[in-house]
Amino acid sequence: DVVMTQSPLSLPVTLGQPASISCRSSQSLVYSDGNIYLNWFQQRPGQSPRRLIYKVSNRDSGVPDRFSGSGSGTDFTLKISRVEAEDVGVYYCMQNTHWPRTFGQGTKVEIK
- List residues binding other proteins (CB under 8 A): 37, 39, 41, 48-51, 54-55, 60, 90, 92, 94, 96, 99-106
Q: C-beta of 102: minimal distance to other proteins in Å?
A: 7
Q: C-beta of 74: minimal distance to other proteins in Å?
A: 18
Q: C-beta of 7: minimal distance to other proteins in Å?
A: 14
Q: C-beta of 27: minimal distance to other proteins in Å?
A: 16
CA distance 36 to 62: 22
Q: Which is nearer to other proteins, 60 or 81 (CB)?
A: 60
Residue 110 CB neighbours (<10 A): 13
Task: Please report how many Cα atoms fall inside a 13 Å half-sphere around the Cα of residue 83, on the Cβ side.
Answer: 20
Residue 45, preceding peptide bond in cis (omega within 30° of 0):
no
Q: Which is nearer to other proteins, 74 or 95 (CB)?
A: 95
Q: Which is nearer to other proteins, 50 or 66 (CB)?
A: 50
Q: Which is nearer to other proteins, 8 or 18 (CB)?
A: 8
Decide: helix, strand or coil at residue 42.
strand
